[in-house]
Amino acid sequence: MVCISQLLLQLFSIGLLRMASATIFTLQNSCSYTIWPGTLSGNGAAVLGGGGLALAPGDTVQLPAPEGWSGRFWARTGCDFDDAGKGPCATGDCGGAIQCSGGGVPPVSLAEFTIGSGAAGKDFYDVSLVDGYNVGISVQASGGSGDCQSAGCVSDLNANCPRELQVVDGGGSVVACRSACAAFETPEFCCTGAHATSATCGPTSYSDMFKSACPTAYSYAYDDLSSTCTCTASDYLIVFCPST
């Protein structure tokens, strides 16, 4: 029969193991303006950072995630929240509140993760421009083992966005660059219908433009070979507006 002290020791050890296995996401705002990072968790996983928060220029925040967590991060820009935390954002809006109730409205640059389970569980992560682009974003792994590549989009795609993809604010400034799917809503750009497989949906002149500017980011739905990264037992630094 296990005595109470032994049982407590076992529970304490399990708790330490769970704490040790947690993945730490560090979000850093290197933009010259305040952003409001949004978080979305998949498969009923823990909500990180309450779903969204404010991050002033130069600030960082650390968000621990349990093993097996999956979800995404993105930056919202041009938000105008009232004292109750309600209000719109110019890009990346997620329900009109500082704490997101869903994903960011495209166009938005995404950092996506699936964290492995167990000591040998492999993490999968990427930076995706499939939903368009609003700010630069990079992901760096630290303390892990394996390939542990860096991913991201450092280039300012808003500065070189084709007119037909541009999203402009009231003053005429380009604040985001839409994907060709969002702009034209056709199967060949959206990888739907007869183009719903990797064999029938390939790169286009628009995705090639994104890929040329950001070689390690997803440029269209089936851009897997050069865009999916893996690492084991790592923490991650996510930088918004990373410098060149």
Locate tokens 């999916």: which residue? 228
Q: Is residue 17 one of the residues assigned to a domain? A: no
> Is residue 144 one of the residues assigned to a domain?
yes
Q: CATH no. for residue 137?
A: 2.60.110.10
**Average pLDDT score over residue span 186-214:** 95
Please, what is the average pLDDT of the chain?
90
Using DSSP bridges, classify how beta strands 23-29 and 229-232 pair: parallel, antiparallel or unpaired. unpaired
Q: Model-level pTM? A: 0.89
pLDDT at 31 over 50: yes
Query: What's the token pair of residue 172?
Result: 């005429």
Cis bond upstream, residue 107 (ω within 30): yes
Whether the predicted pLDDT of 6 surpasses 60: no
112 assigned to some structural domain: yes
- Give the separation between CA 105 and CA 177, rounded to whole angstroms: 12
**How many domains are contained in the chain?**
1
Dump the DSSP string for 119-182: TTPEEEEEEE-TT-BSS-EEEEEES-BS----EEE-S-GGGG--GGGEEE-TTS-EEEE--HHH
Q: Confidence class of residue 119 from pLDDT cuts 50, 70 and 90?
A: low
Beta bridge partners of 168: 174
- The domain containing residue 158 runs over which residues? 23-240
Residue 8 is assigned to a structural domain of this protein:
no
Query: Does 14 reside within a domain?
Result: no
Segment 120-165, tens digit of pLDDT = 689 999 999 999 999 999 999 999 999 999 999 999 999 999 999 9
- Is residue 11 assigned to a domain? no
Residues forming a β-bridge with 177 = 133, 166
Mean pLDDT over 189-194 rounds to 96
β-pairing, 23-29 with 235-240?
parallel
| Burial 189-206, CB ≥16 within 10 A → b, else e | bbbeeebeeeeebeebeb
Domain annotation covers residue 224: yes
- Flag whether 2 is in a domain: no
Using one digit for the tens of pLDDT, what is the confidence trace for 172-183? 999 999 999 999
